[in-house]
Amino acid sequence: MSFNGPIEESFPTPADIDRSTVSHLQKGYKISARKLPISKSGTIDEMEKKLGIPVPEMIFGGNMVSIEHVTTGWRLEFNAYDALDRVDKTDRNMLKVAYSQEWSSSRFDGVPFSHDPANVLSREKTHEGIKEIVKPFDWSYTTDYKGTITGKPFELQKDNENPIPIELLKRPDPILFFEEVVLYESELDDNGISLFSCKLRVMPDRMLLLCRLFMRLDGVLIRIRDTRIYVDFNTGKVIRDYTEREDAFDKVKQALLSSGRLPNDLTIALRDPNQISHLVPEVSHTLESLTLP
Amino acid sequence: MSDLDRAIAQLRACRPIPEAQVRELCHKARELLIEEGNVVTVKAPVTICGDIHGQFHDLMELFRVGGDVPDTNYLFMGDFVDRGFYSLESFLLLLCLKVRYPDRMTLIRGNHESRQITTVYGFYDECLRKYGSANVWRYCCEVFDYLALGAIVLGASTALEPSKQNVPASAASTQDDVDSDIEIEVLSHDGSIIQKFPRGKARGLIGQNNSAAKRSSSPAAKTGPPGTGASGWSRGSTGSSSGAVLCVHGGLSPLIDGVDKIRLLDRKQEVPHEGAMCDLLWSDPDEIDGWGLSPRGAGFLFGADIVKVFNHANDLSMIARAHQLVMEGFKEMFDNSIVTVWSAPNYCYRCGNVAAILELGEDGMGESAHARSNGDVNRSDGGIMKENERVLLAGPARRYRVFQAAPQDSRGMPAKKPVADYFL
């Protein structure tokens, strides 16, 4: 892992960016991935100003994955900034942590929450005014980002007839290029996790990219939002499959127990979207495609 | 070699000690910690550290960079456990050192030193995996309940002493020329100087939000060098004592307007979901006016005015806290009235951030300089004092040592390479 650089040094430099990017050329498609350390304070301040919301504490602002069609210049990229720009910046979709009720009722409903003289003394005068929520936004960093298209503006069109050919992807074709790139991660102030990451695999004739948001708010909710990009290099067919899954935390936990999980394994399973995604019901699904010339 | 020294040697090699020994260690630690107040008084010199999070090899790197125990006095501001792979070894080593050198090691509680949080974030699973039962986790949690909530560092000098550790030949010449007017020095892991800030000029320069520094530039201008009359506490000469430094894991609480209020809390319990104790371990500074509620529906945020009024009322020159990841290892905010120190490099083995520790030197003035009353009611203005009436105490001279994660080969595990899998 590279050094985040002394404080005054501008990082990453173009050379760092170059060094951190890996690419693979396959049948006219250039597939790239860039992995850098988390962004520095200066970059974060700029991002927050432009986005209008605080960014997650683990923000990989320089990371990206992309698929480029070399002859036309059509390019599909996944990056943290564009993903965060699609997070709700209002208070309309704000979740509350599991113990929020307990936390706020003890402070604001007039019932003394402590017999501690230190608390009771200062409580009246110091507490009353604090009711304003600072910078309301969807702090779970849930996004419906499906990638950024640049270059030649070929748009993906709705197409329910052509799902991703799973059987072809199950074949053990050699994997020529594989990368896993985190775009952002938040620990939600130790109330769970919100992780937005991509992984991709390139085989001789096709590739699959999975960009996943995994959001677990402990005791409250679990969300998985998957964007899958399938490219058939021989036909130029690009398929985008976007699925939203969501369920109450306790329901997923129950489903794990019913599937034979031991109680001691639950926390580990609840950290891994691969172990639970099939237990979380689908709430939304769209299919799009385009054929590159 | 005593059993304790043997345990220390074993843990330094990152090997867990037997369950029976953990039990005995935790028992001894509890007896020691129960005697400590909620706010421990610590005398400079001391090295202040932030979150460790079970990154054992990076903790060893921290000791290498900052000096070994007992040669260096340490104050760890909590979050020893969870997330990293070696929470158990990290915490038990720190605890052993605490029991072995009680006056040279100060451990205060972080929000992760809790039953509920460790169950979710890894420490519980780690204990179960390494011992086959939750007993060791239980012993550790009982110790957590006795950890102090904060510490006050007294007698920190306003002038930097020459650096003792790790001065390479190339950097030695710059170290000889000790500049008493340096307020902040940033050193790399090998002791070479990254940055220096003269007193009074440090504001707005490092890791801070510049807009905040500009917004409240008037009180900053009043915090002149010692002897300018800007500081009521300054002794006006090189090496004078700064105001005290309060160390706490998270931050302030609207229920706490004085350090003495912290002393009155009943801390010997699981970290509650509400109340002053919860706030001290959970709250965060933010660029706001006054107090605010976190959008998460629990937890407070506090602005520059809150910190300045609190520091003034309590004869503090600074608050040191941890709790939030900062890429540069440390971040001073609000005209240097509060600093976040982060000591887990390459956090979660993938963030690529650097870590830092904060060294405060001693003023060399002996006990007399430490007499003070924290939270003197007459000095408290109840928060109504106007901005321009506030006088900030001279900040201690601060030496930040910035360091990177321990080399991969020292961890005894292979670098994590992505394994190609046939995901769908």
pLDDT in tens, A91-132: 888 898 888 877 776 665 443 334 444 444 444 444 556 767
A45 close to A55: Cβ distance less than 8 angstroms: no
The verdict on ipTM greater than 0.85 is: no
Evaluate whether residue B330 is within a structural domain. Answer: yes
* Residues near A112 by beta carbon (within 8 Å), at least 6 away in sequence: A120, A123
Q: What's the angle, vertex CA B414, arms to CA B409 and CA B417, rounded to 5?
A: 125
> In this complex, which of A4, A44, A268 lies closest to B352 when CB atoms are compared?
A4
* Count of structural domains, chain B: 1
Span B19-42, average pLDDT: 97
Q: Which of B119, B346, B423 sits opposite A210 (nearest CB)?
A: B423
* Residue A154: pLDDT band with limits 50, 70, 90: confident
Catalytic residue IDs of B: 112
- Give the Cα separation of B42 and B40 in Å (integer): 6
Task: Please report whether residue B359 resides in a domain.
Answer: yes
Looking at the complex, report in whole angstroms how far the Cα of residue A28 sits from the nearest Cα belonging to chain B. Answer: 22
Condensed to tens digits (0 to 9), the pLDDT of residues B179-214 reads 568 899 999 998 999 999 988 765 544 444 433 333
- Cα distance from B273 to chain A (closest Cα, Å)? 6
Band (A70; pLDDT cuts 50, 70, 90): very high
Does residue B389 sit within a domain?
no
Residue with tokens 């069609």: A69
Residue B212, CA distances (Å) to A284, B24, B196, B286 in order: 43, 49, 21, 10
Predicted confidence at residue B350, as pLDDT, reads 87
Identify the residue with better confidence: A211 or A97. A211
CA distance A270 to chain B (A): 9
Q: Would B421 be classed as within a structural domain?
A: no
A211/A216 Cα distance (integer angstroms): 17
A129 Cβ under 8 Å from any chain B Cβ: yes
Pick from B261, B296, B346: which is nearest to A97 by CB?
Answer: B296
Q: Decide if B7 is inside a domain.
A: no
Using the predicted structure, report yes or no on whether residue B306 has a pLDDT greater than 60: yes
Q: B384 in helix, strand or coil?
A: coil
Q: How does residue B6 score in pLDDT terms, banded at 50, 70 and 90?
A: very high
Residues 371-410 of B with CB under 8 A from A: 382, 402, 404-405
- The pTM of this model reads 0.85
Q: Is a pLDDT exceeding 60 seen at residue A68?
A: yes
Please provide the average confidence, as pLDDT, over all residues in chain A.
Answer: 87
> What is the Cα–Cα distance from B386 to A173, expressed in whole angstroms?
71
- Taking only the tens place, the pLDDT of each residue in B320-363 is 999 999 999 999 999 999 999 999 999 998 899 999 999 999 98
The mean pLDDT of B207-225, rounded to a whole number, is 36
With a CB cutoff of 8 Å and minimum separation 6, the contacts of B158 are B183, B199, B226, B234, B238, B239, B240, B241, B242, B363, B394, B395, B396, B397
Task: Name every chain A residue with its beta carbon within 8 A of the beta carbon of B287.
Answer: none
Q: Among all chains, which residue has been given the structure tokens 């979901």?
A: B273
A278 touches chain B (CB under 8 A): no
Is 70 exceeded by the pLDDT of residue B408?
yes
Give me the domain span that covers residue B183: 17-367+398-405
User: Does A108 contact B at CB distance below 8 Å?
Assistant: no
Torsion sign across C-alpha atoms B224, B225, B229, B233: positive
Mean pLDDT computed over every residue of chain B: 83
Question: Which has more pLDDT, A90 or B165?
Answer: A90
> For residues B395 and B55, which has the higher predicted lDDT (pLDDT)?
B55
Q: How many helices (H) and strands (E) does chain A have?
A: 9, 13
Give a yes or no: residue B380 inside a domain: no
Residue B289 lies in a domain: yes
Mean pLDDT value of segment B382-393: 51
Q: Domain of B213: which CATH number?
A: 3.60.21.10
Q: Is there a domain that residue B372 lies in?
A: no
Question: Which helix (DSSP H) or strand (DSSP E) does residue B276 occupy?
Answer: helix B276-282
Within 10 A of A173 (CB to CB), how many other CB atoms are there? Answer: 15
Taking 70 as the threshold, does the pLDDT of residue B216 lie above it? no
Q: Assess whether pLDDT exceeds 50 at residue B77.
A: yes
